[in-house]
Structure 1
Amino acid sequence: MSKSEFVELLKKRTKQLALDVILLYDKIQKTDSTRVIGRQLIRSVTTTAANYRAACIARSQKEFFSKMSIVVEEADETLFWLEMLKDAGFVEEVQVKPLMDEALEILKIVSKARKSASSN
């Protein structure tokens, strides 16, 4: 797989994760707690996708590193909020596990990309 194909695939994966999280949130019972967690979760997962796209068109290595740092932070936060939904019993593990797995995989990929960028 070429670098440009990989970049496009990761764009699709981050966007799809955002869509899947939104759809999951729409299915859960709304309480004060789930609304707070849901807002934070949707914000972090959509910020992950949006900032990855922004990193892909960065004008400099410094800008790329900055955007990727945001992506890493927001991907980790996404994972945290998914864990909170599961641990609080608001969603079944079977519903959220694939999303958590994907968020973790994306986090690992973008963390490695950011680390590579900092050493260049």
Structure 2
Amino acid sequence: MMNTNNYLPKDEFAELIFGRIKAFGLRCMPLCDDLFLKTASAKNIARQLIRSSSSAVANYRAVRRARSKNEFYAKISIVIEELDESIFWLEYSIDAKFYEDIKVRSLINEGYEILKILAKARKTVSVNNK
């Protein structure tokens, strides 16, 4: 797990997380391309995965431009939801036997690590708003 201590300046931390989310989305693309070449069921998973993973990236970009804590909270909640959905589709592709667990496990683990970081950031904003 990456060290995400409080010693990084806020902008550097945001850039680091953006890089990780972007890399996650980019790593999903070849899996989606491969799934699209399979059955109709696999194509559906591919469409859902590419939509949710790219949405997580685009919405995190919007998080970084939030004008208030409330806007930050709302936008980061969307990122968390889309990232969680992406992880679901990756796990579902394993359940459907389109991929072996070993092929996508590191991507799933990275998704969960990013989720933990984002959930903590959202909770911090929520606690500080009270």
Give the TM-score range, shorter chain: over 0.9
Using the alignment, how far apart are the partners of 1:117 and 1:52 within structure 2? 15
> What amino acid is aligned across from residue 98 of structure 2 in structure 1?
F
Identity of aligned residues (%): 50
CA-based RMSD of the aligned residues comes to: 1.1
Q: CA deviation at 1:101?
A: 0.5
Letter in 2 for 1:15: K
Amino acid at match of 2:126: S
Secondary structure of 2:122's counterpart equals helix
- Maintained 8 Å contact 2:33/2:46: no
Larger Rg: 2
Give the TM-score taking structure 1 as reference length: 0.94
The one-letter code of the counterpart of 1:77 is E
Post-superposition Cα deviations, 1:49-83, rounded to whole Å, max 9, x if no partner, equal 11111001101111100001101111111111110
Unaligned ranges ≥5, structure 1 = none
Q: Distance in 2 between matches of 1:26 and 1:40?
A: 12
> In the alignment, which residue of structure 1 is the partner of 2:97?
89
**Structure 2 partner of 1:70:** 78
Paired residue total: 120
Residue 19, structure 1, aligned to residue 26, structure 2:
yes
User: Quick one: higher RCO (CA 8 Å, sep 6+), 1 or 2?
Assistant: 1
